[in-house]
């Protein structure tokens, strides 16, 4: 099992690895066979927490890759996981499986969002693709402003009673959405949300205003996505100098807007003697309330490299320097008032 570390997911008794394997690349960027190898390697390393979504698998067009893979379709990633589970060997039993619903899976009404009808249909469809009888953490991929919480929790409660899901989670919620969800669940005598999956990294710290305090208050574990800021924190300048990476479009614009900060960041990591990507993960792991950053390796080698983050200790002086480069937020309202 190596040096993997574990923690409880939020206030629950569920033990999950401090790194969560993100599968969004599986299918669209990573071939199924390679995805299976990455998942096997994750288990060898002790990673037991896997995250996916019902919409993953749609075609993307990365540089140097031909667009329009005929196999690409919403649901493909879940199917890849399902095929891997079906090979046996305790793969499903050793995995804490998290998936999501909300995005449209078709053009017909009620094929997306969080109506009771879609919650029921989307769950059953995910179970078929994943080739399992239950989802461990069923996450709402986005808040649905048109569906009342009483309807959502009633539908989730049915899935819980049927044994089709064990926990409910959220993703991309505002702080007040978490509060509304938890208070509505409490009125029904339900456990409510166990986790919130948010955009969070050193360069994008908005959730520190209200989402993170709300999650801490309600015992909701935070699962950061894009922990490297789309590559911004992964040693991009060094890779650029060495000709290993050339940014374009939004990624290039993001780097150009913060080039001085990124240069200072990489210099600081050099002085520490650590890879920037691993320091960025280690920083998230030190934040109170963070359960496990989502890492999305395209290769087993990238997965191996991320394990180093578990061993890095950041002292108080280093953390102060990071805050100087990438300023964070105090909780609301103190950040903008007294």
Query: Which of 56, 102, 200, 218 is the catalytic position?
Result: 56
Instruction: State how far the Cα of 227 lies from the Cα of 213, in Å rounded to an integer.
Output: 19
Q: Assess whether 102 carries a catalytic annotation.
A: no
Cα angle 104, 106, 110; round to 5: 65
Instruction: State how far the Cα of 275 lies from the Cα of 282, in Å rounded to an integer.
Output: 11
CA R_g for the chain:
20
In angstroms, the Cα distances linking 52 to 76, 98, 244, 315 are 11, 6, 28, 33
Instruction: State how far the Cα of 295 lies from the Cα of 293, in Å rounded to an integer.
Output: 6
Q: How far is CA 94 from the centre of its chain?
A: 19
Instruction: State how far the Cα of 52 lies from the Cα of 75, in Å rounded to an integer.
Output: 10
Residues with a catalytic annotation lie at 56
């Amino acid at each position: 099992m190596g040096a993997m570390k574990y923690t409880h997911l939020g206030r629950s008794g569920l033990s999950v690895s401090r790194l969560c394997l993100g599968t969004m690349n599986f299918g669209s960027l990573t071939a199924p066979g390679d995805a299976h190898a990455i998942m096997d390697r994750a288990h060898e390393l002790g990673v037991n927490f896997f995250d996916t979504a019902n919409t993953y698998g749609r075609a993307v067009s990365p540089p140097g890759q031909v667009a329009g893979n005929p196999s690409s379709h919403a649901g493909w990633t879940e199917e890849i996981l399902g095929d891997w589970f079906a090979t046996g060997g305790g793969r499903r039993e050793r995995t804490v499986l998290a998936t999501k619903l909300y995005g449209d899976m078709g053009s017909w009404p009620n094929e997306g969002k969080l109506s009771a009808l879609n919650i029921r249909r989307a769950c059953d469809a995910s179970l078929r693709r994943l080739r399992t009888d239950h989802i461990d953490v069923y996450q709402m991929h986005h808040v649905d402003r048109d569906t009342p919480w009483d309807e959502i929790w009633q539908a989730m409660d049915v899935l819980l009673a049927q044994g089709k899901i064990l926990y409910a989670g959220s993703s991309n919620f505002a702080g007040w959405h978490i509060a509304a969800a938890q208070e509505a669940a409490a009125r029904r005598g339900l456990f409510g949300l166990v986790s919130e999956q948010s955009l969070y990294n050193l360069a994008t710290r908005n959730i520190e205003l209200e989402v993170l305090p709300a999650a801490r208050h309600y015992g909701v574990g935070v699962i950061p996505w894009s922990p490297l800021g789309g590559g911004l924190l992964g040693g991009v300048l060094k890779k650029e100098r060495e000709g290993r990476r050339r940014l374009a479009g939004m990624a290039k614009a993001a780097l150009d807007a913060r080039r001085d900060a990124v240069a200072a960041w990489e210099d600081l990591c050099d002085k520490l003697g650590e890879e920037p990507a691993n320091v960025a993960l280690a920083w998230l792991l030190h934040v109170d309330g963070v359960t496990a950053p989502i890492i999305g390796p395209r290769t087993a080698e990238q997965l191996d490299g991320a394990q180093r983050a578990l061993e890095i200790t950041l002292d108080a002086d280093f953390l102060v320097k990071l805050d100087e480069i990438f300023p964070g937020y105090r909780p609301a309202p103190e950040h903008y008032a007294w």
